[in-house]
Structure formats: structure tokens, C-alpha cells
Structure 1
Amino acid sequence: MAYDEGLAQRLREALGDLPDVVEKRMFGGLACMWRGNMLVGVMGDDLIARVGPDGMADALKQPGARVFDFTGRPMKGWVVVAGEAVGEDADLADWIDRARDYVEPMPPK
């Protein structure tokens, strides 16, 4: 599966000042790891964001967000956000911030 290279580039730019970010190919797309923990990524034309179990309810109320159900089993704490819903840089930054809020307290791997 190919992924939206334009969205991937926007993620790279938005994460540019964050130390210890590494890209990995996952889910047929691209995952951005922060200190060894998955943070955000691109799958197809969509953003994937790790918001944590406590952030799910609010995240799913946001435009374009849905449960990340890649294998037929929903991934707890993850959402998929339609590419159109992150077309503006401010919207993309909001999702990155949500993911950072969850991942930041995690110990590095």
C-alpha cells in the first residue's frame, strides 16, 4: 500500500524540531517513532495518531476521526484521521500535540 508522500513530508516538517524522531515503514505506510515509541504516521491518505485510551472519546468526536481498525481488531488508543481533516497545518499540529501528550510521559525504548 502506498502512502501520501505529501502528508508524510508535512509530518516531517512539523516534527522537525522534536529530538529523537525516527521514521519506520509500518502498516504499509510510514510511522514516526519518538524516543522509540510510536507517535503518528501516514497510512494511505490518512494520518494515524496515538492518543491513548483516555484520549479516545474526545479524539473520536473530532472531524474525520475514526477508530484505527487495521486488522479487524480495533487498536486501543489509536485513531485514523481522514487526510482531508488535516489539510490545514493547524489541524495537523493539533493531532501531533494530542499524540505528544500521550507519548511524552512514556519511557524511551
Structure 2
Amino acid sequence: MAYDKELADRVRELIAGEPGVTEKRMFGGLAFLINGNMSVTISRQGGLLVRMDPERADALVDDADVTPMVMRGRELDGWLRVSAAVVDADEQLAEWVTRGVGFARLLPAK
């Protein structure tokens, strides 16, 4: 399954004008990078992958629509999988994108 192009357009609108933003196709999805650091990705499985402070991520997990990201059987600290249902509303999408972009801005540029 290809990533959701409409969701990608919505994310583009939210980060338009952000300095240091680039897009890169990765793992069948579309990643938005801030100064070379991944911030949010449109997942080919639907919804988003959001990078954030690992200490804050656990509090947002609900085991239904927001889950830890798992790659090769291992949970990745600071990465959450957010279902498409959660980001259906523009306000919710903006909250998640803001989290990802905000955290990526704290990281050293690559």
C-alpha cells in the first residue's frame, strides 16, 4: 500500500514556511525532515509515525490508535504510530505534526 497522498498534502500545508524542511521517501512512506532529522512520516500502513521526546511518548500511548512504533520486532523509543482516525481532524493532525517538528528542532542538524 502506498502512503496517503492527501494526508501528505495536509502535513505539507502545516509545515509550509518552516525552515530546514525536506521530504524524503523512506520505507514506502514519506518522511518530513527538519534539518536532516526525521520529524513525522506518512506511513504506508496508514496514519503517521511521529518522533518525539521518549519521556513524553509513553503518556500518549492508548494501545488502540496511538501505539509505540515497532520495527523488526523491536519498539523504537520516541516513535509513535498514530492511526489515520486520530489525525482525521485538522486540529488533531496539527497537534501531532507540532510534536514531531518541535522535537526534531531540538536535535543537532545533520
Give the TM-score normalised by the residue count of structure 1: 0.91
Q: Which amino acid aligns with 1:17?
A: G
- 2:102 is paired with a residue whose SS is helix
Structure 2 residue ranges without an equivalent (≥5): none
Following superposition, the deviation at residue 80 of structure 1 comes to 0.6
Output the aligned Cα RMSD.
1.6
For residue 93 of structure 2, what is the aligned residue in structure 1? Answer: 92
Q: Which amino acid aligns with 2:21?
A: V
For residue 83 of structure 2, what is the aligned residue in structure 1? Answer: 82
d(CA) in 1 for partners of 2:27, 2:82: 15
Q: Assess, with a 3 A threshold, how the Cα gap between structure 1 residues 11 and 63 changes in structure 2: closer, same or farther.
A: farther
d(CA) in 2 for partners of 1:16, 1:62: 31
Following superposition, the deviation at residue 21 of structure 1 comes to 0.7
For residue 51 of structure 1, what is the aligned residue in structure 2? Answer: 52
Matched residue count: 109
Following superposition, the deviation at residue 107 of structure 1 comes to 1.2
Does the CA-based 8 Å contact 1:31-1:39 persist in structure 2?
yes
- 1:76 is paired with a residue whose SS is strand
For residue 26 of structure 1, what is the aligned residue in structure 2? Answer: 26
Q: Assess, with a 3 A threshold, how the Cα gap between structure 1 residues 9 and 15 changes in structure 2: closer, same or farther.
A: same
Give the percent of matched residue pairs that are identical in Structure 1 and Structure 2.
Answer: 37
Does the CA-based 8 Å contact 1:51-1:59 persist in structure 2?
no
Q: Any runs of at least 4 consecutive aligned residues in structure 1 with deviations exceeding 6 A, and if so which?
A: none
Q: Assess, with a 3 A threshold, how the Cα gap between structure 1 residues 78 and 65 changes in structure 2: closer, same or farther.
A: same
More moved, 94-103 vs 56-65: 56-65
Following superposition, the deviation at residue 18 of structure 1 comes to 0.8
d(CA) in 2 for partners of 1:39, 1:57: 17
Higher strand share: 2
